[in-house]
Amino acid sequence: MKFRTERDGLLEALVTAGRAASPRGGVAGSPSLQLALRGSQLEVTGSDPDLVIEVRSLVAGEADGVSLLPSRLVVDIVRALEPGTVSVVGNDEEVRITSGRAEFVVRVPVGAEITRLSTLDEEGITLPAMRFAEGLRQVVRAALTDDTRAPQLTGVLMVATETGLRLVATDSYRLAFRDLEGLSALDPGAEVLVPARALAEIQRLVQGTGEDEDGARLVFRHSELDAVFEVGDVRLTTRLLKGPFPDYQRLLPPSYPFSLTTSREELASALRRVRLMVRDAKDATTPVRVSFGNGGAELTVLTAESGRAAERVDGTFTGDELVVAFNPSYLLDGIEAIRSDTVVVEVIDASKPATVRGEGETDYRYLLMPVRVS
């Protein structure tokens, strides 16, 4: 393998593919990237057993070939090079990277390999990428990050509805769903459970294109086992999750007796400030108590080791006075997810799920379980 290319383009391809690289995909402690050159097209691939990211890039190719490299090391090397032309020459044993006066000879890791998931060649469905990514921004945050407790909760459920596509995620303490009206990605009545980790990468890729809502396009296809997403020169393949997803519909009450309407930014800023009291606390789950009443709400955080913080937020409250405690980080996630400048927090009592939504927005809901306090 032999080619020349600009450092910045090569670095971008290596970093993007490297997000999928895992120690499970190569030798222990040394995740690998594969560089495959065919003519003038370089394909950089990173993988673990459940996720593959392939990045295509045009280079000045001189000799076709394939080489494997330690992911972190090759990224650090290319990032450290001066801007300009980089020359790469590789074989089965080593890869030589040169730029200016700098030269690195990197050994091919012994026993390294790249995961290959099933190839889906049928024509995919083209989706409006920016709109889909915005839905992911709102929903992925509610997915479980620890796959040892309930692996199916680490995914986002994509459901075909009568009017479009619904995205749903929950970690059992909170739940988020977004309806994308008029967007068709699945057969009627179908649903797939896609790992949130993979969708977070799709969100990052789409938002990194710099395209406007009309310009960016995303191609999606799936089988019973895998899903493939293509954004520009990047293809991401992920295994689908299996297992029962919670019946989230039963968590949605028809109405709420209490509601607070206030400025999204004022509420978020106040919450960030009072949350400082638990930033370094041993018990990071210390709740924020929200005292709802006439004229707004007061946020209070009290810890034995750090002290107390309180701030009042003006707003319109409907209902009797009550106090409900929440995980402050989870509550802030919901507030930051909405698009409207005005947020509505709806509650039933101190033990049932509350809802955070944007005023006038009917396509997004964020449900949050209160924290029980004495």
* 147 vs 308: which has the higher pLDDT: 308
- In contact, 74 and 106? CB cutoff 8 Å: yes
Res 124: pLDDT? 85
As a whole number, mean pLDDT of residues 213-238 equals 88
* 185 vs 103: which has the higher pLDDT: 103
| Cβ contacts of 54 within 8 Å, gap of 6 or more | 17, 43, 44, 45, 234, 235, 236, 237
How many other C-beta atoms are found inside a 10 Å radius of the C-beta of residue 84?
10
Give me the chain's average pLDDT, please.
Answer: 91
pLDDT digits (tens, 9 = 90+) for 97-148: 999 999 999 999 887 777 777 667 677 889 999 999 999 999 999 999 987 7
* 277 vs 64: which has the higher pLDDT: 64
Helix axes 7-18, 71-80, angle to 10 degrees: 150
What single-letter amino acid sits at 335?
A: I
| Cβ contacts of 118 within 8 Å, gap of 6 or more | 223, 225, 226, 237
Res 27: pLDDT? 43
What the chain holds in terms of domains, given with CATH numbers, is 2-107 (3.10.150.10), 125-248 (3.10.150.10), 252-368 (3.10.150.10)
pTM, rounded to two decimals: 0.89
The DSSP output letter for 21 is -
